[in-house]
Amino acid sequence: MTDMDSKQSIPSVFLSFSLVAQEIISVLFAFYSYQSGEMALATFYLGVAGILLVGLGIHSIFDRPALVRGLLAAVLIVTFFYLLSTVPDSSVLLWCLTIIPVLVGTFGSRVSMIILASIFAATLWLFFGNSGFISPDVYSEVVIARFLSAFAVLSLFAIAMDNSHSRSLHRYKDLSLRVDQIAHQDQLTQLPNRLDMERRLEKKYQQYRLINQPFSILLADLDNFKFINDRYGHDVGDDVLHAIGVLLSEPLRGEDVVARWGGNEFMVLLPTANAEAATNIAERLRAQAGKLLMEAQGDKLRISLSVGVASIDKCTGIDDLISTAENGLYQAQHMGRDMVVVG
């Protein structure tokens, strides 16, 4: 993630805050200049505030953060050098320092470092490069040294703080992603877990109520799993569960979802399949499970699935859909296992 990318989640709020804050600062400086009898400078500050107000309007109405960031930076930088080169008043140096946190917060630490370094270099040239833009007697050497020191220190501090905030934000996002993954993913099979499937079912049911597109589910149970666990151990049982998860996932369409429903049960969501299509898919999956070759302690394991099928167009809701699939699975298990039953 680039520095600018990290800012894309913040600009709307921070950009608005920066524009309003800089407007207030400019109005306050305009009032100070008015009180000091400097009407031209007061008018200039009010003009800056007016341009920033236009930028705030553009941002609020059209939501163009990139355009407004460019406008804000242009206004701040142009005003910065205009005040330094044309206004013989030490108070303008205070206004010039206010642009540092705004630029850093708006553009991020990397881009603002380049901008502020360029401004600092240009300022050095204005003060010491015989540019002719600043009269030598406008500012004393002490004032210049203090201003440059304050500019450099404040810039470094603002960049360091923003960089630290960006790293913390990245860590927070990574942690949130990991927590969400743990909450919605089965750690053994790497499939969605029951909680995630319940959320998907509810969402799909809401879509069904709007567009009346039927969908179906399969509830598959790994036959004789307790025997495999007891005979060969949990490590072998875990390998079998993982293999079944892979087997159920591979032949499905991209829109279909397989989840570990619990224990040795898996649920398959078929978002566009009616009962007939779902039954055909279930039979295909059951047949493929029977071809799965696995060995443990020199024995060949016989893998089979019992599957219950349910379609939403024959049910009254999600609970009824799941109950219907469970009834189909129950019947398949008590009719000899290794079969598909439509609930």
pLDDT at position 293 is 87
pLDDT at position 166 is 80
Q: Total domain count for the chain?
A: 2
Looking at every residue in the chain, the average pLDDT score rounds to 89
Same domain, 313 and 215: yes
Rounded to 5 degrees, what angle do the CA atoms 295, 300, 303 make?
90
The percent helix, strand, coil of the chain (3-state, each to 5) is 70, 10, 20
Q: Is residue 245 in a domain?
A: yes
Q: Is residue 98 in a domain?
A: yes
- Extract the runs of DSSP E, i.e. beta strands, from the chain: 216-222, 257-262, 265-270, 294-296, 299-301, 305-311, 340-342
Which of 181, 210, 231 finishes a domain?
181
Q: By C-alpha distance, which of 159, 94, 147 is closest to 120?
A: 147
- Put simply, whether the predicted model's pTM sits higher than 0.85 gets the answer no
pLDDT at position 1 is 39
**Tokens standing for 95?**
């206004």
Backbone angles phi, psi at 220, to 5 degrees: -110, 135
Helix (H) or strand (E) holding 250: none
Structural domain harbouring 304: 194-342
- Extract the runs of DSSP E, i.e. beta strands, from 116-234: 216-222
Which of 121, 148, 181 finishes a domain?
181
Q: Is residue 186 in a domain?
A: no
Q: By C-alpha distance, which of 130, 74, 81, 83 is closest to 106?
A: 74
Percent of the chain with pLDDT over 70: 94
Q: Is residue 56 in a domain?
A: yes
pLDDT at position 8 is 43
Same domain, 254 and 335: yes
For the chain, 343 residues long, the average pLDDT of each consecutive 10-residue run is 42 83 95 93 95 93 90 95 86 94 90 95 87 68 92 95 84 80 84 94 94 94 92 93 91 87 95 94 94 90 95 94 97 95 91
Same domain, 176 and 198: no
* Cα gap 117→119, rounded to integer Å: 5
Same domain, 162 and 205: no
Residues 6+ positions from 65 with CB-CB distance below 8 Å: 11, 12, 15, 59
Backbone angles phi, psi at 91, to 5 degrees: -65, -25
- CATH number, domain of 265, equals 3.30.70.270
Same domain, 140 and 227: no
Same domain, 58 and 119: yes
pLDDT at position 149 is 96
Three-state secondary-structure class, residue 306: strand
Q: Is residue 187 in a domain?
A: no
Same domain, 173 and 239: no
